[in-house]
Amino acid sequence: MTVVYDFTVKKVDGEQQNLSDFTGKSLLIVNTASKCGFTPQFKELQAMYEKYNEQGFEILGFPCDQFNNQEFADIDETMQFCQKNYGVNFPMFAKVDVKGDNADPLFKYLVSEKKGLLTEGIKWNFTKFLINKEGKVVARYAPQTSPAKIENDLKSALK
C-alpha cells in the first residue's frame, strides 16, 4: 500500500527530501504559482500553517509553470516573491510538472487517489490535497477553494 510518505521530492536547492520526514503529520500539498489569480491564497495558507503547525500540520508547496506560464523561471525568484509578499515559511520545493507525461510521481499518485470533479488531472494552480497522519489522501480541493474553507477538514485530519 502506497502512502504519501513513500515519495521523495526535490527541494529548492536540488537536494532530495524523503516525505517520510513528515511521517505522523497531516499535510496540505499544493501546486502553486506566483503570478496566478489565486496567488493571494498564500496569505491564508501561511496563516493556516502558523495556526496549526505546532499540532502536527505541514503545508508543502510545489511551484508549477504548466498553466499559462504563471511561475518565475528562476526558483530563487519564486522563493523571494513568496517570502517578501506573503511571508511564506512553510516548506516549498523545486518546480514540478503536475500533469502530463512528465508529471512528478507524487502528483500522479495524488490524482490517482482523489479524482477532480470534472477531470482526473489537475486543471489549474492551487489545487490542494489534504493528507491525514497515516499518509493517506483524504480530500482534494479545487483551485478556487479558499484555504479557510478547508479548516474543518484539517481539524479532523489532525485527530
Average pLDDT, the chain: 91
Q: How confident is the model at residue 116 (pLDDT cuts 50, 70, 90)?
A: low
100-123 residues labelled b (16+ CB within 10 A) or e (exposed): eeebbebbbbbbebeeeeeeeebe
CATH number for the domain harbouring residue 66: 3.40.30.10
Q: Which residues contact 10 (CB under 8 A, 6 or more apart)?
A: 16, 17, 93, 94, 96
**Which pLDDT score is estimated for 72?**
84
30 vs 116 pLDDT, higher one: 30
The alpha helices in 1-159, defined as continuous H runs, are: 41-52, 75-86, 105-113, 151-157
pLDDT above 70 for 6: yes
Confidence of residue 118 (pLDDT cuts 50, 70, 90): low
How many domains in the chain? 1
CA–CA separation, 80 and 108 (whole Å)? 28
The parent domain of residue 121 ranges over 4-19+26-157
Rg (CA), the chain: 14
From CA 96, how far away is CA 40, in angstroms rounded? Answer: 20
The catalytic residue positions are 36
Checking if the pLDDT of 129 tops 90, the result is yes
Rounded Cα distance, 97 and 146, in Å: 23
